[in-house]
Amino acid sequence: MLKAQQSEQKKLQDDQLKFQKKLQSEIEIQKRHLETLIAQNYSTQNNKLVSTEDIPEPTKQYDFFISHASEDKDDIVRDLAEALRNNGFEVWYDEFELKIGDSLRKKIDYGLSNANYGIVIISPSFVKKNWTEYELNGMVAREMNGHKVILPIWHKITKDEVLRFSPSLADKLALNTSIHTIDDIVENLKNL
């Protein structure tokens, strides 16, 4: 009986070893096949790869990108953009930069990526808009690299409303149009 058990155990071990060798062989075949596919794909795309030398350098750098809701243009945004420009700052502001037929997304992305700071005019209208959220998300992505980008300005909004919209945005020191004039805001921005 002991011999029978040993014989059966030996047979099971041999079967398991054969299975492992077969599996190992199949994995090696799949691995070589995958390496061949990768090499073929790389060689066909190698001629299509774009080097960083082919990417044009940005033609314009901005000090500030102004993110805002269109409803706030007349109250604060247009005057702020003009005041910043009159103080020698390069400002990406939609009325300065967008022309008929432009791609909104491309122009906004260009402005966001080529601006040192993003001025975010947070208002009840701002928190309801998709475009402003898109712009804010772009600034947050840039801040993830550890650089201060977002400069919040609260306009006709309470701390509770900002907290409901974005607790992390409510945590940032902000200027407030209820107590700061446009001249005050420009002076604060000069000291960055």
When mean pLDDT is compared across 24-38, 60-74, 170-184, the lowest value belongs to: 24-38
- Asked if residue 105 is part of any domain, the answer here is yes
Q: What is the pLDDT of residue 24?
A: 66
pLDDT reported for residue 19: 65
Do both 21 and 72 map to the same domain? no
pLDDT band at 11 (very low <50, low <70, confident <90, very high): confident
Catalytic residues, by residue number, are: 135
Alpha carbon 69 to its chain centroid, in Å, reads 20
The pLDDT value given to residue 13 = 73
pLDDT score for 34: 58
| 59 three-class SS | coil
**CATH number for the domain that contains residue 74:** 3.40.50.10140
Q: How many whole angstroms separate alpha carbon 40 and alpha carbon 27?
A: 20
pLDDT of residue 146: 84
- What confidence category does residue 65 fall into, taking pLDDT thresholds of 50, 70 and 90? very high
Query: In this structure, are 67 and 40 located in the same domain?
Result: no
Residues 41 and 76 in one domain: no
CB 84 within 8 A of CB 91: yes
Residue 102 shares a structural domain with residue 141:
yes
The reply to whether 57 falls in a domain is: no
Query: How many domains does one find in the chain?
Result: 2
Whether residue 70 is found in the same domain as residue 113: yes
DSSP state of 37: H
User: pLDDT averaged over the chain?
Assistant: 85
- C-alpha 11/C-alpha 8 separation (Å) is 5
pLDDT at 8: 75
* Domain interval for residue 87: 62-190
- Of 30, 51, 72, the domain-final residue: 51
Same domain, 22 and 98: no
* C-alpha separations of 9 from 1, 2, 12, 22 in Å: 12, 10, 5, 20
pLDDT (0 to 100) of residue 7:
74
* Structure-model confidence comparison of residues 144 and 44, the more confident one: 144
